[in-house]
Structure 1
Amino acid sequence: MPPVVTPDVRERAAKIKLVLMDVDGVLTDGKYFHVPNPAGGLFEVKLFDSQDGIALQWLYRTGIKTGLISGRDAQATAERARSSHMTYCYMGNTEKLPIFHEILADSGLTPDQIAYLGDDLTDAILMKRVGLAVAVGNATPEVKGCAHYVTKAVGGSGALREATEVILDAQGQWEGILRHYEVIA
């Protein structure tokens, strides 16, 4: 059951054609591990939530594009983007506004057709510009103050899934997901 949202959030969610997000603290809990590589050196390990993963698949299948803008550059992030059919994958960028303008130009979308999920100060600048700004449950107070919607779920624990349910429900597509899995007839 999608969360109950205000009429304003529902109206904003109904317009979304692209969902952008931060990675560390949104798709993950913000922790990462450096593990020895048998070939030498270290590699970075991140944990991604499977409910967020299926939400990314639903967005893809319903024609809503996705993308990420991350301050860190990590192979695990690139793989998550690839396996989730993300249209945009920008890593190693804490200055997110120029990337946002690039995405606007490339996609042909207007800011009100874009949702952004964030958790920290580097995300606020985009959250103030998009049609649907979503802060994860454990976002900083300043970021929550920029949000149209704050998830009950924390980053790395289904926050994207929750936001996806809101968007798909507002667009009349949530019941189709439930029917697909025979949750409803």
Structure 2
Amino acid sequence: MNAENVKLIVLDVDGVLTDGKLYIGSDQVEYKPFHTKDGMGISLARYAGIKTAIITGRKSPSVEKRAGELKIDYVYQGIHHKQQVLDEILESLNMTMDDVCYVGDDINDLPVLRKAGFACAPNNGVQIVKDNVNYIAEADGGEGAVREIIEAILQSKRDLNELIEEYLAGVTQSETVKVQQ
């Protein structure tokens, strides 16, 4: 399959939206480093009408906070059988796996990656994952891989520079309205 069919982008978190390292402070709070470039990519995808989802095996308040900031459409944490949750999302959206871009980095992502219409991995994903995807980002997880993948999807659908200019015009116009009020 190809990126042109993507209507839903589904992301793992650790190793995809983050660098895969677990940062646990002396206060026992887990910290996750998210890259702002990935956040802008997600904003561009949403602007282009693509739905977004996070399905991750771990639970973390930082994921909930970041997903809220980015207005991710579906957020599921503590999920070990990701395909079951994804099937429920797809049914609610009247979509199929052909419509899905799934981004994963490790063996627990393989069952979904093998069925996704456009399967992707960050450059530092494990080799067996990279052997089972359509696209491998040049960037590592947590270092802009999601942004790179989203730009590839958007470019397959239309001129990326044109989309960015429309996005910027819309953001600038809404900021001007807020300032004038």
Do the two structures share a fold, i.e. TM-score over 0.5?
yes
Aligned equivalent of 1:5: none
- Structure 1 length as normaliser, TM-score? 0.86
Aligned pair in 2 of structure 1 residues 111, 66: CA closer, same or farther (>3 Å)? same
> Is it true that 1:168 corresponds to 2:158 in the alignment?
no
Aligned equivalent of 1:14: 4
Q: Distance in 2 between matches of 1:124 and 1:117?
A: 10
> Contact 1:32–1:47 (CA<8 Å) still a contact in 2?
no
**How far has the Cα of 1:32 moved from its partner?**
2.2
**How far has the Cα of 1:36 moved from its partner?**
4.1
Aligned equivalent of 2:113: 127
The answer to which of 100-109 and 127-136 deviates more is 100-109
Aligned equivalent of 1:140: 126
Aligned equivalent of 1:153: 139
- Structure with bigger helix share is 2
Q: Is the partner of 1:66 in helix, strand or coil?
A: strand
Aligned equivalent of 1:53: 39
The size of the alignment, in residue pairs, is: 168
Q: Distance in 1 between matches of 2:75 and 2:18?
A: 16
The runs of at least 4 aligned residues of structure 1 exceeding 4 Å deviation read none
**How far has the Cα of 1:128 moved from its partner?**
0.8
Q: Is the partner of 1:138 in helix, strand or coil?
A: coil
AA matched with 2:82: K
- Structure 2 length as normaliser, TM-score? 0.88
Aligned identity (percent) is 35
Structure-to-structure mapping, 1:1-185, within 5 angstroms: 12-37=2-27, 42-180=28-166
> Contact 1:69–1:90 (CA<8 Å) still a contact in 2?
yes
Gaps of 5+ in 2: 170-181
Q: Distance in 2 between matches of 1:64 and 1:178?
A: 15
RMSD (CA atoms)? 1.5
Gaps of 5+ in 1: 1-7
Q: Distance in 2 between matches of 1:113 and 1:98?
A: 16
